[in-house]
C-alpha cells in the first residue's frame, strides 16, 4: 500500500467496482471511507467508515460530506458513482441524456468541489470514466447518453488536473475495462476485483508528472 493512499474515500461504494475498491484498499491497510446512497450488506460487512444517504446529484453535497468525513486530509479520492441506460439513434430520450450528465459528469464535479478543502499536496483524485467516452476510439456509436456524459467527464477531469496541479493534487481519468457488474448486465471481459486491482495500481503510480491521464486498468494510455 502506497503511503499516499492511507486515507481513502470511495464515492459510489455499495456494489461492483466501488465495493471492490473498498475491499482491496482496506485489505492493504488503508483507512477507507465508503460513500453511497444506501449501503449493501456486503459493504456493511467491511472494516470501513460509512457515509450513507449521499446522492451525487445533490447540489448541497458539501455540508453532508464534510460534516461526516472524519479525516483531515484525503490521500486518495475515487469517484465511482455512475449510471448506464442504453439508447441508440434515433430513439434518444433527451431527459435520459440530461440525467446521465447530472450523475456521470456533474456528480464528480460536485464531489470534488465539496471535498476540495481536504485535497492537499500529495492527494490524488481518480474519476472512473469509460473508454466509450473516447471520441477517437468510437467506431460503434450507440449508448449516446452514456458516451456523451463520459466524454464530458474526461474534459472535466483534464481541466481539474490543470487547476489542482498548483496545489499538489494529481488527477486521473480511469477506465476499468468491460467489467461484469450489475451495470453491464453481468456481461464483460473481466471481473470487478481484477478491474479494481488494476485501477488501484494506476492510482499508486499517479503523480504530478502524469496528472491528467486517461488510463485503462491495464496501464494502457487511452486516446481522447
CA gap 21, 163 in Å, rounded: 26
Q: Is residue 95 part of a domain?
A: yes
CATH code (residue 43): 3.40.50.720
* Joined grid coordinates for residue 111: 464531489
Q: Is residue 221 part of a domain?
A: no
Report field, pTM of the whole predicted structure over 0.95: no
CA gap 187, 85 in Å, rounded: 14
Q: Is residue 199 part of a domain?
A: yes
Q: Is residue 36 part of a domain?
A: yes
Q: Is residue 224 part of a domain?
A: no
Would you state the pLDDT for residue 180? 54
Give the total number of structural domains in the chain.
Answer: 1
Would you state the pLDDT for residue 84? 94
Q: Is residue 32 part of a domain?
A: yes
Q: Which residues contact 88 (CB under 8 A, 6 or more apart)?
A: 141, 142, 143, 144
Q: Is residue 223 part of a domain?
A: no
The boundaries of the domain holding residue 22 are 3-216
Would you state the pLDDT for residue 4? 45
Q: Which residues of the chain have pLDDT under 50?
A: 1, 3-4
Amino acid at each position: 500500500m502506497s503511503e499516499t493512499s492511507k486515507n481513502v474515500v470511495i464515492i459510489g461504494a455499495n456494489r461492483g467496482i466501488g465495493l471492490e475498491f473498498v475491499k482491496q484498499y482496506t485489505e492493504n491497510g488503508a483507512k477507507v471511507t465508503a460513500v453511497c446512497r444506501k449501503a449493501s450488506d456486503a459493504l456493511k460487512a467491511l472494516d470501513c467508515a460509512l457515509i450513507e444517504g449521499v446522492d451525487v446529484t445533490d447540489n448541497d453535497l458539501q455540508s453532508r460530506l464534510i460534516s461526516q468525513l472524519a479525516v483531515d486530509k484525503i490521500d486518495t479520492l475515487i469517484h465511482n458513482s455512475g449510471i448506464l441506460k442504453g439508447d441508440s439513434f434515433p430513439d434518444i430520450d433527451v431527459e435520459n441524456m440530461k440525467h446521465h450528465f447530472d450523475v456521470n459528469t456533474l456528480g464528480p464535479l460536485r464531489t470534488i468541489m465539496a471535498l476540495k478543502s481536504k485535497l492537499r499536496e500529495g492527494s490524488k483524485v481518480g474519476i472512473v470514466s469509460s473508454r466509450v467516452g473516447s471520441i477517437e476510439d468510437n467506431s460503434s456509436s450507440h449508448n449516446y447518453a452514456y458516451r456523451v456524459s463520459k466524454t464530458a467527464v474526461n474534459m472535466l477531469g483534464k481541466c481539474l488536473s490543470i487547476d489542482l496541479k498548483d496545489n499538489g493534487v494529481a488527477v486521473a481519468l480511469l477506465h476499468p475495462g468491460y467489467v461484469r457488474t450489475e451495470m453491464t448486465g453481468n456481461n464483460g471481459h473481466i471481473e470487478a476485483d481484477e478491474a479494481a486491482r488494476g485501477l488501484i495500481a494506476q492510482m499508486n503510480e499517479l503523480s504530478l508528472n502524469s496528472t491528467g491521464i486517461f488510463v485503462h486498468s491495464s496501464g494502457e494510455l487511452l486516446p481522447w
